[in-house]
Amino acid sequence: MSSTQILCPKCRQLLHKSVDLEMRGEIKKAGGYTIHLGDPQETISCPSCGFPIPVEEIIDGKHDLPQGGCVETIIVVVIMIALFGIIIKFST
């Protein structure tokens, strides 16, 4: 699960990733290849300052919210440990 929000590298404005970008990010993480439609150097203009953010960097998660990703990872780990504990408890 990747962050659905990114920060503009210039003005730090909080932006939401489009579903398309999220999908491409997940596919890339899973080791797949994404097909580029149109210009591979495409950028998304920040609605706040107009800074062109490279789509490739968004997909790579370079502009993801740092804290959000961490919290999500911790939650996933805690759930995994809890589930593992339950499995062990019931299997003995």
Cβ proximity to Zn ion: between 10 and 29 the closer is: 10
Q: Is 8 an interacting residue with respect to Zn ion (CB under 5 A)?
A: yes
* One of 1, 5, 11, 16 touching Zn ion (CB under 5 A): 11
Cβ proximity to Zn ion: between 26 and 57 the closer is: 57
- How far is Cα of residue 47 from the mean position of the Cα atoms in its chain? 19
Closest approach, Cβ 10 to Zn ion, in A, equals: 5
Reported for 49-55, long-range contacts at CB under 8 A and 24+ positions apart, including other chains, are 49/8, 49/10, 49/11, 49/13, 51/8, 51/9, 51/10, 51/11, 53/6, 53/8, 53/9, 55/21
Residues that bind Zn ion (CB under 5 A): 8, 10-11, 13, 46, 48-49, 51
